[in-house]
Amino acid sequence: QVQLVESGGGLVQAGGSLRLSCATSGSIFSINAMGWYRQAPGKQREQRELVAAITSGGGTLYEDSVKGRFTISRDNAKNTVYLQMNSLKPEDTAVYYCNAEVFSDYPPIKDYWGKGTLVTVSS
């Protein structure tokens, strides 16, 4: 059983910073891509958007609105991914979900999701 647990969300004023963490545990052989998604208030799960992603080799991808403000990183030894969020804006308010493509014993490969952490940015 593989689990992803996010932490670091909270309430912050516009212009402030937060750092999200997501620790992966369980029967893990290796982890391919890891990413952060967000679901804004009132949006459905299908409207969850990719914020940032990072490959096992360190290649990164960012959604346009967060470029220059957010930084994704990972510690492969700890199976943990981070999202440093600076210059936060009210429109960044959302539940942030961690995602990981995990190679395990069974199933051999699967996408896993955390339960989410709420980020609220006040104006």
- Mean pLDDT check: name the lowest of 8-12, 32-36, 107-111: 107-111
Which pLDDT score, from 0 to 100, does residue 1 have?
86
Distance between CA 66 and CA 71 in Å, rounded?
9
Which whole number is the average pLDDT over 108-112?
A: 91
User: Does 108 have pLDDT greater than 90?
Assistant: no
Which whole number is the average pLDDT over 50-63?
A: 97
User: Does 58 have pLDDT greater than 90?
Assistant: yes
C-alpha dihedral (59, 33, 77, 58), degrees to nearest 10:
0
Which pLDDT score, from 0 to 100, does residue 42 have?
93
